[in-house]
């Protein structure tokens, strides 16, 4: 079709034609294919890691994986960009610019990641979603984790049926339509019913496994409390190595998503670690106003069959240039083979998981807790609900948040709900921060910070913090020596993360505290009690 | 015209910007790049003086800075031809010396008499002083007087220098700078192998070498292909206007000539607390001014910029210094940074220090007052699962179907003159889009939305793909419609991948309450066919 010089002539003409076709297309849609080049077989589980993915040249000029060697799976999630309200530790309702869940609603409300395999994501709600759901219907009966709005593409089904009925049968107008017609077409009504004022702080939790393909659809439902604004939103995957500018979420360097539109971000999961995400539109405003969330990537090592050598598994990873860490050739990889193999912890444990591909079992944990540090300036949020411009130099946080809550809300079980301006209760803060450990267990704390004004310190009273990773990278030198260190406090600025292991071995049962020694942060605005604090509960 | 549009696009999103755009864009240079420019010695004749620096909101901020008392013995890197050294600049002149040099810095105090003495501290070196008067931390130059500092540049690396006199005021006013010590010997790893191939690639595309040296340290892990120096500081304008008013009001008429004596009113009493900075600067400039060229004429007192560019696979040396009063979490989009050294001290493995680093990998490198960090960054696009060059094996264009021959690390490094030198080969020809419009491969995982529901950024290259060849093949000459948003990173010229590097204390990416501004810059990864020229 394109040949020689005529290509330069045809291209603009075709562009114009394309614009006329797509202008009529719907703007909200979700994307969650069941198969791709990288995952050629539909599967809704994580296969065991027994060796690297093998590739062979394919007919279209690129490498295709040997299906039996494929690692990882397809994962999907949908979020809304809009606004909402949250409840502060002193009972104040605070206005937010915020993301909310538009898939995985039940899991999110139960404090779990909302990231789903395609079969869960591509499921249709049987009934009518109500504003405020799942809070309106109630946690006990609301079990839906699919994409809000997803419906069969009836037009395509009908057109295909009509074409097939002709003699001879005509070419199908929608050749790739999945059975049941679920091609990502959505009904905007439930999206607006659920998405408006469903803001969460932190934003919906995401979790991936290495080798996963992740399809994240951001649907901009607008900010109903701020009809004067036409705010775009984006998702910045903070800390992703070798990010693409297109999917980096910086509006200046890429595209931003207008109100009424959906955009699907696409990434192959990066190396394991504790990352986080946020909107990158006018960051001092959108981050302060609450558009911050958590995402972490679990290592291949978790998928090694029980009892098998972790060192051998890490050696297997060296055979794929994408997954290897050769310090002599790559200055930015963090998990070379351990210099000293660990005989005691060297095989895949029957329970628990690992934070990184350590090859020596040293990042083992029994339970994991994402903890995000943040701060709200009530004056800024108040002005943010009005039509006035906010100032930045005098910004001063007065609420100090762990997973969007201040003490004592941090130790309230279940989701916190807030009565919002639509008269419905919404699950505004789904994540408690109670660290629960049985004596002898290890807890992995995935701590990230998206405060926009100052550094914050989190200290542990009683149980030492073992820091195993900074900024989503294992603390290991290029020679393979682990550089973990014990401390009783960590300090982070916005834009930083680290991983801490709390080991309750030898710790008497009881309640311990994580709290900030920035003592003025142990407050909830005017209340001289609360703030950045939560509990570690060790039981026998 | 193009430049003016660019600034307008950048700044369109927030209030009250028209005056600032008009002022700031008059003399904008189009090709503004970085490097780590400075003056060479090892003898330096510096001066401390008052002058006004410019901020993008139009403010002229009364400041004090170090500058050149007489013309320096030279400028480096030599590939930057329009260098100058004012008698006052912020940051002060970057002093570039070689390990083993005996460095002498003669400082003349040209500050207003009421400001009193001044001095320079060189942390990390054993300094001897001559002349001057005794001060708290070092010898000082009295008003109009001179002091000379001498030391041996014993070890390589990046370090800060700053005033040791009434530092809470003088450093705030701008009396700080950087000294770079180059290693006396360069490890062979930094002139062979990929280091050599990268030079071949550079010269093939007509690019100059803008490095000060081939290595930051005499260590095989300290090689680099490009380098950038970023100094972070803040300004509380109330302190500066107080100093300005008190200098103007001070009576410094001598009361006697032999011995000379000044009246007691010839002093300043500027309150440096409470501290409410409104300007957040990198190399003395706030965004977007920091992305104008080094030595751009409109910044007579702020010659250094912050505007890094790189090609895939190049190793980038970041020299980062905290010069203000606060810490700043500097977030480098695009990849991690391997910390090489702090204050000129390499961080090495305890077991094999000769070939193994032990510094952490960080995506946010905190700047700390007085502390310098050296780190290595690169970008390759490895692991994205789609071909960033949008290659299409059935393309009618030769550059659309280039080969990718993987080396042992998976990169296309056989031919350093190829456009796709250092492409990540596992994803070669692998499509991103399910049904693309233009001349890129099809069958990928994603359907891109109607461009009308998106807003394009000023640095958006016009397509998802890297480089003008890929972008034009994918979407045409104007990038995706509507095309007007793409100005600073043209689809047909640069079409790089732009990444924001900025303080993640996000309120510091503002200029006196206006977003965007402050401690922010765009870093561009450019396909090889775009020629990176850091000379203006």
DSSP B207-218: -----S-SBSSS
B482 in a structural domain: yes
What range does the domain containing B482 cover? 386-444+462-492
Domains in chain A, number: 2
Question: How far is B95 from B105, CA to CA, in rounded Å?
Answer: 10
Q: For chain B, give the percent of residues with pLDDT over 70.
A: 92
Q: Report the residue from B481, B502, B509 with minimal CB separation from A19.
A: B481
Q: Chain A partners of B363 at a C-beta cutoff of 8 Å?
A: 238-239, 471-472, 495
User: B507 and A270: CB-CB below 8 Å?
Assistant: no
Question: In chain B, positions 463-492, which contact chain A (CB-CB < 8 Å)?
Answer: 463-464, 472, 475-477, 480-481, 489
Task: Output the six-digit token pair for B77.
Answer: 């890197």
User: B459 and A252: CB-CB below 8 Å?
Assistant: yes
- Segment B182-187 shows an average pLDDT of 97
Total count of residues recorded for chain A: 540
Contact of B8 with chain A, judged by CB distance below 8 Å, is answered with no
Query: Which pLDDT value is given to residue A343?
Result: 81
Query: Which pLDDT value is given to residue B3?
Result: 38
User: A481 and B512: CB-CB below 8 Å?
Assistant: no
> What are residue A486's DSSP bridge partners?
A466
SS3 A435: strand
Task: Report the residue of chain B nearest A60, measured CA to CA.
Answer: B393
A266 in a structural domain: yes
Quick check: pTM over 0.90? Answer: yes
Contact of A59 with chain B, judged by CB distance below 8 Å, is answered with no
Task: Report the residue of chain A nearest B280, measured CA to CA.
Answer: A393
Question: How far is A240 from B88, CA to CA, in rounded Å?
Answer: 41
A311 in a structural domain: no
Contact of B275 with chain A, judged by CB distance below 8 Å, is answered with no
Query: Which pLDDT value is given to residue A22?
Result: 37
A305 in a structural domain: no
Residue A45, pLDDT above cutoff 80: yes
Domains in chain B, number: 1
- Segment A368-382 shows an average pLDDT of 97
Contact of B356 with chain A, judged by CB distance below 8 Å, is answered with yes
Contact of A318 with chain B, judged by CB distance below 8 Å, is answered with no
User: A493 and B385: CB-CB below 8 Å?
Assistant: no
pLDDT tens-digit profile of A100-150? 999 999 999 999 999 999 999 999 999 999 999 999 999 999 999 999 999
- Segment B456-480 shows an average pLDDT of 91
Q: Chain B partners of A392 at a C-beta cutoff of 8 Å?
A: 507, 510, 513, 515
**A406 shares a domain with A265:** no
- Segment B110-126 shows an average pLDDT of 97
Query: Which pLDDT value is given to residue B452?
Result: 84
B403 in a structural domain: yes
Query: Which pLDDT value is given to residue A75?
Result: 98
- Of A268, A298, A328, which closes a domain? A298
A263 in a structural domain: yes
Residue A232, pLDDT above cutoff 90: yes
Q: What ipTM does the predicted assembly reach?
A: 0.94
User: B356 and A394: CB-CB below 8 Å?
Assistant: no
Chain A / chain B CB contacts < 8 angstroms? 315
**Distances A441 to A228, B192, B303 between C-alpha atoms, Å:** 52, 51, 57
Question: How far is A368 from A443, CA to CA, in rounded Å?
Answer: 5
Task: Output the six-digit token pair for A376.
Answer: 């709200």
Pick the closest to residue B432 from B462, B397, B394, B387 (CA basis): B387
Query: Which pLDDT value is given to residue A85?
Result: 98
- Segment A321-345 shows an average pLDDT of 94
B192 in a structural domain: no
Q: Chain A partners of B237 at a C-beta cutoff of 8 Å?
A: none
Q: For chain A, give the percent of residues with pLDDT over 90.
A: 91
pLDDT tens-digit profile of A481-536? 999 999 999 999 999 999 999 999 999 999 999 999 999 999 999 999 999 999 99
- Give me chain A's average pLDDT, please: 93
User: A495 and B393: CB-CB below 8 Å?
Assistant: no
Q: Report the residue from B13, B335, B481 with minimal CB separation from A332.
A: B335
Strands A203-209 and A292-298 turn out to be parallel
Rg from Cα positions in chain B = 25
CA A251 to chain B, closest CA, distance in angstroms equals 5
Query: Which pLDDT value is given to residue B81?
Result: 86
Contact of A254 with chain B, judged by CB distance below 8 Å, is answered with yes
Question: In chain B, positions 169-228, which contact chain A (CB-CB < 8 Å)?
Answer: 221
pLDDT tens-digit profile of B146-155? 999 999 999 9
Q: Is A39 left (phi over 0), alpha (psi -120 to 50) or beta?
A: beta
Q: Report the residue from A19, A284, A470 with minimal CB separation from B510.
A: A284
Of the two residues A35 and A16, the one the predictor is more confident about is A35
* CATH code for the domain in which residue A512 is found: 2.60.40.420
User: B409 and A330: CB-CB below 8 Å?
Assistant: yes
Total count of residues recorded for chain B: 536
pLDDT tens-digit profile of B345-373? 999 999 999 999 999 999 999 999 999 99
Least confident of B6-15, B151-160, B342-351: B6-15
Question: In chain B, positions 116-155, which contact chain A (CB-CB < 8 Å)?
Answer: none
**All residues at 6 or more sequence positions from A419 whose CB lies less than 8 Å from its CB, including other chains:** A85, A93, A425
- Segment A452-480 shows an average pLDDT of 97
Q: Chain A partners of B446 at a C-beta cutoff of 8 Å?
A: 31, 215, 264, 266
What range does the domain containing A77 cover? 73-298
Task: Report the residue of chain B nearest A451, measured CA to CA.
Answer: B505
pLDDT band of A26, cuts 50, 70, 90? low
B466 in a structural domain: yes
Longest CA–CA span in chain A (Å) reads 79
pLDDT band of B481, cuts 50, 70, 90? low
Residue B483, pLDDT above cutoff 90: no
**A281 shares a domain with A146:** yes
> What are residue B522's DSSP bridge partners?
B500
pLDDT band of B10, cuts 50, 70, 90? very low
User: B426 and A241: CB-CB below 8 Å?
Assistant: no
Query: Which pLDDT value is given to residue B34?
Result: 66
- Segment B281-300 shows an average pLDDT of 96
pLDDT tens-digit profile of B442-459? 999 999 998 888 999 999
Q: Chain A partners of B487 at a C-beta cutoff of 8 Å?
A: none
Outline where DSSP puts E strands in B434-536: 454-456, 497-503, 520-525
Q: Report the residue from B276, B349, B444 with minimal CB separation from A481.
A: B349
User: A63 and B428: CB-CB below 8 Å?
Assistant: yes
Angle (nearest 5°) at CA A369 between A325 and A49: 40
Q: Chain B partners of A266 at a C-beta cutoff of 8 Å?
A: 385-386, 432, 445-446
- Segment A427-440 shows an average pLDDT of 97
Question: How far is A257 from A237, CA to CA, in rounded Å?
Answer: 16
Residue B509, pLDDT above cutoff 50: yes
- Give me chain B's average pLDDT, please: 92
Residue B524, pLDDT above cutoff 90: yes
Please answer whether residues A413 and A514 qualify as being in contact, where contact means their C-beta atoms are separated by less than 8 angstroms: no
User: A15 and B383: CB-CB below 8 Å?
Assistant: no
> What are residue A14's DSSP bridge partners?
none
A332 in a structural domain: no
pLDDT band of B302, cuts 50, 70, 90? very high
Query: Which pLDDT value is given to residue B536?
Result: 64
User: A242 and B383: CB-CB below 8 Å?
Assistant: yes
Q: Report the residue from A18, A260, A285 with minimal CB separation from B453.
A: A260
B23 in a structural domain: no
Residue A371, pLDDT above cutoff 70: yes
Q: Chain A partners of B426 at a C-beta cutoff of 8 Å?
A: 55, 63, 321-322
pLDDT band of B258, cuts 50, 70, 90? confident
Of the two residues B479 and B123, the one the predictor is more confident about is B123
Query: Which pLDDT value is given to residue B27?
Result: 35
- Segment B473-494 shows an average pLDDT of 78
User: B410 and A322: CB-CB below 8 Å?
Assistant: yes
pLDDT tens-digit profile of B47-92? 999 999 999 999 999 999 999 999 999 999 999 989 999 999 999 9
A198 in a structural domain: yes
User: A253 and B329: CB-CB below 8 Å?
Assistant: no
**SS3 letters for A269-295?**
CCCCEEEEEECCCCHHHHCCCCCEEEE
Please answer whether residues B44 and B72 qualify as being in contact, where contact means their C-beta atoms are separated by less than 8 angstroms: yes
Q: Chain A partners of B277 at a C-beta cutoff of 8 Å?
A: 393
The HSE-up count of residue B233 (CA atoms within 13 Å, CB side) is: 27
Please answer whether residues A264 and A235 qualify as being in contact, where contact means their C-beta atoms are separated by less than 8 angstroms: no
pLDDT band of B330, cuts 50, 70, 90? very high
């Amino acid at each position: 079709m394109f040949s020689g010089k005529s290509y330069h002539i045809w291209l603009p003409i075709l562009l114009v034609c394309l614009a006329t076709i797509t202008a009529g297309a719907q703007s909200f849609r979700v994307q969650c294919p069941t198969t791709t080049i990288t995952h050629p077989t539909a599967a809704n589980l994580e296969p065991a890691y027994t060796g690297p993915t093998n590739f062979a040249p394919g007919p279209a000029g690129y490498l295709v994986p040997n299906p039996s060697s494929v690692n990882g799976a397809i994962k999907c999630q949908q979020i809304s960009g809009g606004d909402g309200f949250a409840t502060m530790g002193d009972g104040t309702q605070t206005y937010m610019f915020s993301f909310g869940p538009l898939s995985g609603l039940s899991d999110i409300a139960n404090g779990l990641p909302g990231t789903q395999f395609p079969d869960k994501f591509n499921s249709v709600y049987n009934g009518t979603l109500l504003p405020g759901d799942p809070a309106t219907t109630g946690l006990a009966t609301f079990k839906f984790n699919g994409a809000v709005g997803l419906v069969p593409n009836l037009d395509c089904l009908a057109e295909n049926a009509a074409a097939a009925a002709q003699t001879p049968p005509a070419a199908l107008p929608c050749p790739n339509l999945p059975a049941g017609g679920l091609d990502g077409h959505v009904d905007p009504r439930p999206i607006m019913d659920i998405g408006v004022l469903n803001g969460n702080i932190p934003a919906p939790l995401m979790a991936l496994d290495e080798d996963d393909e992740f399809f994240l659809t951001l649907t901009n439902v607008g900010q109903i409390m701020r009809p004067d604004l036409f705010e775009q939103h984006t998702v910045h995957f903070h800390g992703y190595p070798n990010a693409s500018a297109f999917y980096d979420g910086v509006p200046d360097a890429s595209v931003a998503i207008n109100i009424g539109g959906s955009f699907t971000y696409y990434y192959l999961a990066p190396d394991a670690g504790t990352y986080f995400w946020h909107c990158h539109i006018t960051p001092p405003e959108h981050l302060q106003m609450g558009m911050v969330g958590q995402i972490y990537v679990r290592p291949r090592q978790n998928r090694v069959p029980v009892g098998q050598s972790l060192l051998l598994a890490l050696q297997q990873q060296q055979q794929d240039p994408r997954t290897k860490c050769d310090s002599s050739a790559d200055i930015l990889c963090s998990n070379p083979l351990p210099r000293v193999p660990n005989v005691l912890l060297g095989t895949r444990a029957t329970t628990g998981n690992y934070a990184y591909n350590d090859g020596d079992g040293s990042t083992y944990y029994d339970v994991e807790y994402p903890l995000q540090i943040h701060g709200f300036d009530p004056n800024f949020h108040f002005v943010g609900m009005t039509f006035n411009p906010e100032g930045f130099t005098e910004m001063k946080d007065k609420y100090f948040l762990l997973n969007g809550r201040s003490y004592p809300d941090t130790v309230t079980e279940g989701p916190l709900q807030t009565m919002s301006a639509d008269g419905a209760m919404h699950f505004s803060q789904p994540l408690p921060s109670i660290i629960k450990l049985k004596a002898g267990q290890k807890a992995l704390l995935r701590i990230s910070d998206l405060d926009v004004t100052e550094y914050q310190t989190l200290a542990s009273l009683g149980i030492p913090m073992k820091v195993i990773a900074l900024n989503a990278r294992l603390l290991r030198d290029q020679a393979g020596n682990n550089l973990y260190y014990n401390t009783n406090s960590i300090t982070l600025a916005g834009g930083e993360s680290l991983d801490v292991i709390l080991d309750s071995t030898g710790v008497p049962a009881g309640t311990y505290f994580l709290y900030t020694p920035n003592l003025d942060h142990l407050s909830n605005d005017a209340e001289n009690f609360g703030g950045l604090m939560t509990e570690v509960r060790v039981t026998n | 015209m193009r430049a003016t549009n660019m600034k307008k696009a950048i700044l369109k999103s927030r209030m009250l910007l028209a005056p600032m755009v008009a002022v700031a864009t008059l003399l904008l240079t189009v090709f503004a790049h970085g490097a780590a420019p400075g003056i060479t010695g090892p003898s330096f004749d510096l001066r401390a003086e008052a002058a006004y620096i410019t901020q993008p909101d139009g403010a002229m901020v009364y400041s004090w800075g170090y500058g050149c008392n007489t013309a320096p013995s030279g400028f480096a890197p030599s590939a930057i031809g329009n260098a100058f050294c004012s008698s006052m600049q912020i940051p002060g002149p970057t002093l570039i010396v070689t390990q083993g040099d005996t460095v002498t810095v003669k400082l003349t105090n040209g500050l207003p008499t009421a400001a009193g003495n001044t001095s320079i501290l060189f942390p990390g070196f054993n300094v001897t002083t001559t002349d001057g008067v005794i001060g708290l931390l070092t010898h000082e130059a009295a008003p109009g007087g001179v002091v000379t500092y001498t030391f041996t540049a014993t070890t390589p690396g990046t370090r800060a220098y700053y005033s040791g006199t009434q530092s809470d005021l003088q450093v705030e006013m701008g009396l700080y700078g950087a000294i770079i010590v180059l290693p006396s010997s360069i490890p062979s790893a930094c002139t062979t192998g990929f280091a050599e191939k990268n030079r071949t690639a550079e010269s093939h595309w007509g690019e100059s070498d803008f490095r000060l040296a081939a290595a930051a340290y005499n260590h095989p892990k300290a090689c680099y292909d490009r380098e950038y120096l970023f100094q972070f500081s803040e300004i509380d304008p109330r302190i500066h206007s107080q100093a300005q008013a008190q200098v103007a009001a001070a009576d410094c008429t001598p009361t006697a000539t032999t011995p000379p004596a000044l009246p007691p009113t010839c002093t300043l009493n500027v309150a440096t607390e409470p501290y409410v900075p409104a300007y957040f600067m990198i190399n003395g400039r706030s965004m977007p001014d920091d992305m104008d060229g080094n030595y751009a004429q409109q910044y007579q007192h702020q010659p250094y910029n912050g505007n890094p560019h790189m090609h895939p696979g190049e190793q980038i040396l970041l020299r980062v210094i905290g010069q203000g009063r606060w810490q700043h979490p500097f977030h480098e989009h695009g990849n991690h940074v391997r910390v090489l050294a702090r204050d000129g001290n390499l961080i090495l493995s305890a077991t094999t220090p000769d070939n193994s680093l032990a510094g952490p990998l960080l995506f946010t490198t905190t700047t700390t007052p007085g502390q310098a960090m050296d780190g290595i960054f690169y970008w390759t696009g490895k692991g994205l699962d789609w071909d960033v060059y949008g290659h299409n094996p059935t393309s009618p264009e030769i550059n659309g179907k280039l080969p990718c021959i993987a080396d042992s690390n998976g990169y296309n490094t056989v031919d350093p003159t190829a456009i796709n030198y250092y492409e990540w080969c596992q994803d070669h020809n692998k499509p991103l889009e399910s049904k693309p419009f233009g001349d890129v491969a099809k069958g990928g995982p994603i359907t891109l939305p109607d461009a009308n529901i998106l807003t394009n950024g000023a640095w958006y290259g016009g397509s998802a793909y890297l480089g003008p060849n890929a972008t034009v093949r994918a979407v045409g000459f104007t990038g995706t419609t509507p095309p007007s948003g793409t100005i600073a990173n043209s689809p047909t010229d640069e079409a790089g991948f732009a990444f924001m590097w900025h303080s993640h204390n996000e309120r510091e990416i503002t200029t006196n309450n206006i977003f965007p501004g402050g401690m922010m810059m765009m870093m561009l990864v450019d396909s090889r066919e775009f020629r990176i020229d850091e000379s203006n």
